[in-house]
Each structure stands twice: as structure tokens, then as C-alpha cells.
Amino acid sequence: MDFTLSNEHKLFRKMYREFAENEVKPLAEEIDETERFPEETVKKMAKLGMMGIYFPKQYGGAGADALAYVMAVEELGKVCGTTAVILSAHTSLCCAPIFENGTEEQKMKYLPDLCSGKKLGAFGLTEPNAGTDASGQQTTAVLEGDNYILNGSKIFITNAGYADVFVIFAMTDKKLGNKGISAFIVERGFKGFSVGKHEKKMGIRGSSTAELVMEDCVVPKENLLGELNGGFKIAMKTLDGGRIGIAAQALGIGEGAVEEAIKYTKERVQFGKRLSQFQNTQFQLADMHTRMQAAQFLVYNAAMKKQNHEPYSMDAAMAKLFAAEAASDVTRRAVQLFGGYGYTREYPVERMMRDAKITEIYEGTSEVQRMVIASALGVK
Amino acid sequence: MKIIVCVKQVPDTSGKVAVNPDGTLNRASMAAIINPDDKNAVEAALTLKEETGAEVVIVSMGPPPAEGMLREILAMGADRAVLVSGREFGGSDTFATSQIIAAAINTIGVDKEDIILCGRQAIDGDTAQVGPQIAEKLGLPQVSYVAEIKKEGDSLICKRMLEDGYMTIKVKTPCLLTCIKELNTPRYMSVPGIVDCYSKPLEIFDFNKLKDDPLIELDTIGLKGSPTNIFKSFTPPQKGAGMMLEGADKETCQKLAGILAGKHII
Amino acid sequence: MSEFKNTDVEQFHGVWVFCEQRGGALMPTDLELISEGRKLADELSCELCGVLLGDKVEGIAKELGGYGADKVLVCESPLLKDYTTDAYAKVICDLVEEKKPEVFLIGATNIGRDLGPRLAARLHTGLTADCTHLDVDVNKYIQFLSESSTLDLSKQKFNMEDRNLKMTRPAFGGHLMATIICPRFRPCMSTVRPGVMKKAEFDQKKADACVIEKPAFSLKPEDIKTEVLEIVKAAKQLVDLTGADYVVSVGRGISKDVKRGIELAEELAAVLGGVVGGSRAVIDAGWLSADHQVGQTGKTVHPKIYVALGISGAIQHKAGMQDSECIIAVNKSDTAPIFEVADYGICGDLFKVTPLLIEAIKAAKAAK
């Protein structure tokens, strides 16, 4: 068992960190404040090969591994939760299902542009009446000649306003329930497809979260992803992978808060002492760091299992459950250590606290993760 | 066409600088980085590579761990690297260093259309001497303090900064330029670059490899051979807790200006 | 003329100063170096000689005598009008080999730092960069150490007969100082940081007595491998806050008269040769644009001098400037936290203190 990073992974960490510090951190406050999607950052990430980190070079990917990808989301998350989720949703929820389930033609058609960052990806599963219970899909797809006609709407879709390629789920056979769901690759420009209302959120406010509306949306039948009626499996498998991405985002946010809190408490003087000299501060920071370190091991472990093609569904669920709850806890404690300043927008920890909360909710709530873990344990 | 870039790994002096009680630098406590001006030289080389298809060769003199820095530069897009490393080279001053690096470049070979790029100066020594001295030893023309490079046929048009303006200088290849930060913004490593960097060639030039090069004089390399020697090194008196000046009148201000002038910081 | 052998240390005599001219005018550094060179020549009991290259520059040579040069070697040629590495290096190396000076000082300007290393490499001798202090006499050197170092001098041994030039320079951004010698080769060469050495009083009599020598030299157009296409004088270089050597920042204290407060900061910054910054309060109030902000949410600066005018010193501001080399704070309240990080504090009204400070610094700079 080896817990040391390879030289390559150390370089990845260094590269991501320099990029995050110089290019992402300076925008974090502003994009949160103005709820602006950082398009320029996506372009910069694209130039560095960050939009297709772990996909093979033959599809335009960078040819690195899942750990290198997870570290990217983590380092971005340390300075900006928004940027982290943009990358995570694009990679885990759009590129990954196409790579894992697509035909060679589909992969060659879509992956090079997605991996190069020329196009941004998104994922449409959640509906107003199908949240945690994804099986309650109401969007329908009906084959008419050479096309499927999709009708329905999706909500809370990350990257919606800026994505070009969407992996969308719809009922192809209502009678079959779960087993009647299929996945489709839908392009923004397809007839009958539009982006609806944008959500106003508590955190990750720079990410574009919106509704997708399909009104007699025409999708060529060769854009069926995977087997007909095999969509639910694709969705669950995609979410397994996505959870590693969100776990990495949570990990980053929590670690970022610990770094900020260490820096601040070493400077701030009260009662004639630096805050870092008070035992309460020391104990708090020790706990916070320990939680995030544990989270890191879980997240990296899940990433390595995915990379090595081992079953990782439970590992991903544990990583996300633990990292998300740790991030929420650690950011809340960081705000407390900062006191009044922590509650102001002058310091980043209140933003981190708001950003952390969503990681307990999306891509499977913490409760869903517990269900996944318990079921893997055979506890029924 | 080749572009040879000379780089140095230096302790990061932009943050806190740790000094041992004996007055030497506590290098272990400081992060090792690519010398900032050298990074601009690397960027200039990679930009020229994109324009011309030239091969970019990185040369650095330093201890074996400098390989990590060279891998980083390979991950930025350089093609191959040479690490000049040997105990015999340790402690060299600028004269000795430039002699060894010139010999290394000589070994790599300088062809008619080649360009050698250096950073203006390294942040640990701030001498700005090694670049011009390499040029002298290789018998090449030099342009220092370069803030712009344009390639025109077999010539380079360089904007060379002065304190009060700039000169535009035309120089034919092969030549050596020293680069300043105004020249460009260095790129980051890229993900595919990192994936590839450990499979790119990295050669070690040790003492045996270079000792017979005509540019090497065995009695002027290393600590013992260097023409200049450290006579004393010391730390300046520690900064006091700060001083409240009395009064706020003309005299107070004159006193303050006098102190600043005495410290040579105005 | 005996053969040039740079290890024949005893054969080398005299202190030389390279006197840089731009557009036919001397540089301020020339006068500083001639003044310093005079002291070294006196300690070595030898001649001080200026070296002036250019086209039709004989007229400005005598002035160097007024600061202490016994002699000025003047080399004139259209090929020497503007500085080129190749022409200057060839002419000077030939002169050094012929006349064998013991010490050779060059101003550490952008041109001096181009020329110096090239000369040293060709002459096969050492060169110490960017020196801020020079000594020959050991007693004077010990005196210097006692004032400027933390060394325990009782534990240091010195050879009182030592006649090597002891060249002291800062390293690692001034965190360490090193004194360098060049014992085996001559000339002993040093570039000297501009603005450090004190200029002597000009003496017309000495100027009149200064000997101008015009040595023969050979220089052909084909010796010069670079071509100067143009020389442009820039009015003012744009400096960003992060890289600035001098930063004058204003805080809420200017609220009484914002326009005047910023004018004063700009004036002081101009005198120092730096830029204006501001605290968060000033940026939020719209008195300065966001790119001026120093602090946690703004920029981190580490200039040589940071002047805080009317800034209380909130932790978030201090985070961006506390690593400055020298911090000067002016504030009305003597309990303002900014004074905790300031090297020099003045408790007073910035509108009154700043104009006085501007005058005092102008005067101090003029006296150099």
C-alpha cells in the first residue's frame, strides 16, 4: 500500500495550484457576487488540456488518469467552488458517459470537441418530479422515422446556459418504469431544444444552473446513447463517477477553508495573543485538517479504483458522503474562527460555507449515499 | 534550428527568507523554483518554437534534484533537457559557471540559425553576469534586457530596455539574448505536457563529459578555481520593532529623509 | 609594453572607472563612481582614471576631474557614439591589456551590467555585481562591519596588510550581505549599484587640472555584430503595484479632502519614483480604481519603501504590505495598528506631514 503521489501527480498538483492561484482565485469573489459564469476560465482550462484530463489521446483527451482529474477539481475547489463544479459536471457527467457508453462514431464525433474544451458538456436527469427518485422520469422520447422526438423538461442542470452537448434521459417505454429509460446525446442547436429559467442559488453562484426545455425536440436516432431502455443503468453508473468529482469539489472547498483559517488565525490578535496561540483554535484546526485528510484518502481511493476498473460504487458514495459533510462542517468552523470578519464578504470563508452545502445535496444527497453504502453492505 | 535555454533552480526569495545563525541561507526551508527571468526565456523559446518549429533544449547547472525543475519545463513544452551536474562544479562563481555552461552548450552544438536564451539574472545572486559571459566564451553576439523578440530571416529584432527608454537592436543568429519579465507571461505546464514529460530525453553532463571541452580550464572551475571568493558573509542588523518619530514637523521629516538616504533606499 | 598576464598581480596599478554616456551626456552614476574611486585610489596611493567612450565626448570629460579623476581616457569614434557590447568591449579590453589597472569600477546600469561581464570574461578575471560598499583599507572595512553587520568582530581575524578590494553586495533581496574578493586575477572588477555611492563636491580647480588622454585604439565596423536601429527615450515607464519599488498608499484618512489627499500621494510617489495604492476603504468609496488596492482582497506588495498615509492598518490591509522592506506610516491616531508594522511612524495630520516629507525627500535626494 502506497500513499505517496507519483512524480507526475506532484507535477499535476503544482500545475493546478499555480493555475488556481493565479487565474481562478482572483475571480472567485466577483463571479460569486455577480453570479457570472467564468467563460474565460473555461477557455484557459481548455488550453491546458484540463477539459479532457483522463480520456485517451485518440479522442482528444490528455491521456492522464482519474486521480489527475480528481486533483484538478480539488485544487480548483480550494479557491473557487464554482469553477470546480463546471469542470466536474463537464467531465464526469457528459464526457464520461459518452466515453463509457458511446459507439465509436459517437465518441469520435463528440469527444474531441469536448476534451479540447471547444464544447462544454452537461447532463440532464433531474426533473421537477424526479429528483432523488430519478426513476420518475416524465420526459418522453418517441421514435418517428430517423429521429426521436423528446418532450419534457429538466431542472437544476449544471452548465446549462453555456453547454453545447447534453446527455439527456427520457422515457422510451413508460410501462417498463426504470427499465424504460434511455439516454440521448442532445446538441444545443437541435430543433425544439431550449434553455429555460436560471436558478438563483445560495452557493456556487457563478455556475450556470438552469432548466432545459424540450418541445418536440428532434434528436437523430444515432444519438441514442447505449442501448434502448438501458438509460437508467447509464445514469446510475455516471452518477457513481460524478460523485467522485463532487467529492473532490467538497474536498477542495474544505481544504481551502482550512488554509484560509490557518493563515488568518496566525495573524489576528485578540487579548494580546494571536488566535493561533489559543488552544481552542489549535484543536479546531487539528480536527478540521484531520477530517479533510481523511476525506482526501477516501476520494483518491475511489478515483484509483475507477482508474483500475475495480468496482467503486460504494467507494464513491463513501467519498462523497464523507467529503461533503466534512466540507460543510469545516467551512462552518472556519467562519466561526474568523468571527465577525468571517461573516463578511471581505474574506472567502462565508462563500466557502455556502458553496460547501450543495455538495451534500447534488449528484445524490448524503441520504442517497447512505442508501448506496448500506445496500452495498447487504443491509436490507 | 535549435533554441537553447539556460535556466537555474533558485530558492524562492519572494516570501520569507530564512537565514541560518551563521549567516548562510537556509535553503532547505525554502521552496525551490525556476528562476523567474529564466521562465520568461523558456516562454520566449516556446513561442519561437510555435512560429518556426525549432527544437527547444533546456540546459541547467545544479545538483541532481534540479531534474524536477527540468521535468516541469519539459511539461511546459520543451523538447529535451541537459542537466550539468558534478561535485567538481559546486561553488562556482559566475566566471566559472559561465565557462561550464558554455562548454555544455558547445557539446550540444551551436549551429548557424540557433538562438541561446537566458534569463536576465537569478534572484539568489542578482548578478546578471552569466548570460553575457556565456556569450563571450562562445564568441557570440549578445543582447541583454530583451523585452521583445521578432524573427526576421536570419536576424532577430530585439527591444532592449534601458532605465530611461529602450534600444531596438538587430542581431544575426547564432546569438545569445537575456530575457526580462516584460517579454511575456510564461505559460503553465499542460496536462498532456505532464503526461509526456517523463518520457522526453534528459541527459546528465558530468565532469567527465565536459572536462576535455576546449572551453573548460580546469583551474578556474568550482569553488577553488573561481576568480572571486567570499571574504565574509553576514546578515544586516535586524529590523527593530519600529520607531515612532517625535513630532510631525519639518525637522521630523528631514530626519526621516536622512535615515532613508543613509540606508540607500531613496 | 610588457606582456599582459592577469596573474601578475603586482604589475597592475591604478583605479579605473567606466564613465557611461548616453546621448553625449554623463550619467549620474559616473560622478558617484568617480567620487568613490577617488577614495579607493587614495587608499591604494594610485591614480584615478575615468574611461569615456563615445563620439565627440571630449568636452564632457573634464567634469569628471571635478569629482576626483586625475585623468580621463577618451576614445572617440562614430562607431562608439551609441553603446554596443562588441565595440565597447573591444576598445576597453585593449586599453586594459595595455595599461593594466588594478581596480575597474562600472556602474550597474542596464548598460554597465551588459558590458561588465563581457569584459571580465574576456580579461579572464572576476567580477562582483551590484556592489553597495567598497573598501581597500582593512581598518575601514572593520569599521563598516561594526556598523552594518551582526558579526561578532571580536571573533573575526583580519590581515591588516590585506590590500585586496573588498566588495560588499546584498544577496537574496538584502537578507544576506556578502563581501567578495578577487585575489588571483587583475584587474579586480566590480559593478556598483547606482544611487548608492555619495557624490563628492564638484571642484573646478581639480576639473581644470584633469588630464585628458586620447589613446590610440583600433575598431572596425565589422567588429560590431549588432546593429542599433533606434534609441527611444520613454517619458515614464508603467509600473504595476506588485512590482513597484516604492508604493505610497492612502486610506480613509484622506476623506477630509480626497482630491488633495490623492494629489499628495501622487506627488510623493513621483518623488520616490513609485506608484500610488490604496486601502480597501478608498477603493470601495470609489476614490481610486480597484487596481490600486493593497491588501488581502487586493494586491500583495513588497516594495523598498511603503508609505501608508491615513491608513489605520486593518489586518486585511497589513496582509498585503507587511513584507515591505521599509514601512513608513503617517496617522493621526497614535494607537493605529499600522504603527505596529511600521519601521518609522509619524503621528500627525497627513495633509500637513506629507508636503514636508516630499520636500525633505527631494532635498535628501538632491544632496546625493
Establish if A2 touches chain C: CB-CB under 8 angstroms: no
CB B235 within 8 A of CB C150: yes
Pick C346's closest partner by Cβ from B15, B245, B258: B245
Mean pLDDT of B84-99: 94
- C196 and C121 in a single domain? The answer is yes
C60 to A86, C17, C19, C52, C57: CA distances (angstroms): 67, 15, 10, 9, 6
A117: cell is: 474544451
pLDDT value of residue C1: 45
Establish if B11 touches chain C: CB-CB under 8 angstroms: yes
B26: cell is: 537556509
Q: Which strands sit side by side in the sheet containing C133-135, from one edge to the other? A: B229-234, C176-181, C166-171, C133-135
Q: Which residues contact A29 (CB under 8 A, 6 or more apart)?
A: A345, A348, A351, C297
- Is residue C240 assigned to a domain? no
* Cβ contacts of C318 on chain A, cutoff 8 Å: 267
Rounded CA gap, B224 and B234, in Å?
Answer: 21
Do the Cβ atoms of C315 and A267 come within 8 Å? yes
CATH classification of the domain holding C341? 3.40.50.1220
Residue B14 has pLDDT above 90, yes or no: no
pLDDT value of residue C173: 61
Reduced to 3 states, what is the DSSP secondary structure of residue C118? helix
Pick C151's closest partner by Cβ from B136, B230, B234: B234
pLDDT value of residue C148: 84
CATH classification of the domain holding C38? 3.40.50.620
From B257, which residue of chain C is nearest by alpha-carbon distance?
C361
- C202 and C100 in a single domain? The answer is yes
Residue A230 has pLDDT above 60, yes or no: yes
- Is residue C355 assigned to a domain? yes
Residue range B2-210 forms a domain whose CATH class is alpha beta
pLDDT value of residue C367: 81
Q: How far is C-alpha C230 from the chain's CA centre?
A: 26
From C85, which residue of chain B is nearest by alpha-carbon distance?
B142
How many residues does this entry show for chain A?
A: 380
- C134 and C263 in a single domain? The answer is no
Which parts of C214-277 fold into alpha helices (H)?
258-272
A363 is catalytic: yes
Do the Cβ atoms of A347 and C316 come within 8 Å? yes
Which parts of C149-294 fold into alpha helices (H)?
204-209, 258-272, 280-284
* Cβ contacts of B195 on chain A, cutoff 8 Å: 8, 62-64
C215 to A330, C12, C51, C75: CA distances (angstroms): 77, 18, 11, 7
* Cβ contacts of B14 on chain C, cutoff 8 Å: 302
Do the Cβ atoms of B130 and C349 come within 8 Å? no
Sketch the domain layout of chain B as residue ranges: 2-210
Contact map slice: B 214-233 vs C, CB within 8 A: 220, 226-233
How many C-beta neighbours within 10 Å does residue A294 have?
A: 13
Residue B239 has pLDDT above 60, yes or no: no
Rounded CA gap, A77 and A70, in Å?
Answer: 10
- C255 and C219 in a single domain? The answer is no
Count how many domains chain C has.
2
CB B18 within 8 A of CB B44: no
Q: How far is C-alpha A359 from the chain's CA centre?
A: 9
Pick B132's closest partner by Cβ from C118, C305, C344: C118
Residue A295 has pLDDT above 70, yes or no: yes
How many C-beta neighbours within 10 Å does residue C346 have?
A: 26
CB A120 within 8 A of CB A164: yes
Pick C183's closest partner by Cβ from B127, B229, B248: B229
Do the Cβ atoms of A346 and C318 come within 8 Å? no
Name the stretches of chain C with pLDDT < 50: 1, 236-239
Active-site residue, from A211, A325, A350, A363: A363
Establish if A57 touches chain B: CB-CB under 8 angstroms: yes
What mean pLDDT is reported for chain B? 92
Rounded CA gap, A232 and A274, in Å?
Answer: 55
Q: For residue B172, which of C225, A157, C45, A13 has the smallest C-alpha distance?
A: C225
Q: Which residues contact C128 (CB under 8 A, 6 or more apart)?
A: B228, C167, C169, C180, C182, C189, C190, C191
Q: How far is C-alpha C19 from the chain's CA centre?
A: 14
CA distance B145 to chain C (A): 7
Do the Cβ atoms of B250 and C111 come within 8 Å? no
| Percent residues over pLDDT 90 in chain A | 93
- Is residue C160 assigned to a domain? yes
Establish if A64 touches chain B: CB-CB under 8 angstroms: yes
Pick C176's closest partner by Cβ from B25, B133, B257: B25
- Is residue C116 assigned to a domain? yes
Q: For residue A171, which of A211, A135, A225, A214 has the smallest C-alpha distance?
A: A135
Do the Cβ atoms of A12 and B197 come within 8 Å? no
Q: Which residues contact A288 (CB under 8 A, 6 or more apart)?
A: A254, A257, A258, A261, A329, A330, A333, A334
- C98 and C56 in a single domain? The answer is yes
Pick C346's closest partner by Cβ from B167, B233, B248: B248
First vs last C-alpha separation in chain A = 32
Q: What is the pLDDT of residues A181-213, one digit of tens each?
A: 999 999 999 999 999 999 999 999 999 999 999
- C209 and C345 in a single domain? The answer is no
Per-residue confidence band for B76, with pLDDT thresholds at 50, 70 and 90: very high
Rounded CA gap, A43 and A23, in Å?
Answer: 11
CB A294 within 8 A of CB A251: no
* Cβ contacts of B193 on chain A, cutoff 8 Å: 49
Phi, psi of C103 (to 5 degrees): -125, 140
Q: Could you give the count of Cα atoms lying within 13 Å of B112 in the half-sphere of its Cβ?
A: 2
Rounded CA gap, A123 and A50, in Å?
Answer: 19
pTM assigned to the model = 0.87
Q: To which residue does cell 568636452 refer? A: C59
Which ipTM value was assigned to this complex? 0.93
A371: cell is: 442508501
C329 to A20, C20, C296, C333: CA distances (angstroms): 34, 38, 19, 11
Q: Which residues contact C254 (CB under 8 A, 6 or more apart)?
A: C260, C261, C262, C265, C282, C287, C309, C310, C350
- C262 and C127 in a single domain? The answer is no
* Cβ contacts of B258 on chain C, cutoff 8 Å: 364
CB A12 within 8 A of CB A25: no
A125 to A112, A216, A222, C250: CA distances (angstroms): 24, 18, 20, 53
Q: Which range of residues forms the domain containing residue C177?
A: 9-223
CA distance B192 to chain A (A): 5
- C200 and C303 in a single domain? The answer is no
Q: What is the pLDDT of residues A231-290, one digit of tens each?
A: 999 999 999 999 999 999 999 999 999 999 999 998 787 888 889 999 999 999 999 999
User: Is the CA virtual torsion C285, A79, A21, C311 positive or negative?
Assistant: positive
- C47 and C170 in a single domain? The answer is yes
* Cβ contacts of A267 on chain C, cutoff 8 Å: 315, 318-319
From A22, which residue of chain C is nearest by alpha-carbon distance?
C299
Mean pLDDT of B62-75: 96
- C190 and C273 in a single domain? The answer is no
Contact map slice: B 46-85 vs C, CB within 8 A: none
Rounded CA gap, C27 and C20, in Å?
Answer: 6
CA distance B189 to chain A (A): 6
What mean pLDDT is reported for chain A? 96
Strand partners, A153: A213
pLDDT value of residue C238: 44
- Is residue C329 assigned to a domain? yes
Total H helices, total E strands in chain C = 11, 18
- C127 and C77 in a single domain? The answer is yes
Q: What is the pLDDT of residues B137-160, one digit of tens each?
A: 999 999 999 999 999 999 999 999
pLDDT value of residue B240: 54
- C201 and C298 in a single domain? The answer is no
CA distance A113 to chain C (A): 36
Counting one residue from chain A and one from chain C, the pairs whose CB atoms sit within 8 A come to: 14
Rounded CA gap, A4 and C299, in Å?
Answer: 35
pLDDT value of residue C3: 72
Phi, psi of C185 (to 5 degrees): -125, 155
Contact map slice: A 223-282 vs C, CB within 8 A: 264, 267-268
Do the Cβ atoms of B188 and A15 come within 8 Å? yes
Pick C360's closest partner by Cβ from B227, B234, B256: B256
- Is residue C234 assigned to a domain? no
Q: What is the DSSP letter of B18?
A: P
Rounded CA gap, C225 and C244, in Å?
Answer: 35
Per-residue confidence band for B101, with pLDDT thresholds at 50, 70 and 90: very high
Chain C neighbors (3+ CB pairs < 8 Å): A, B
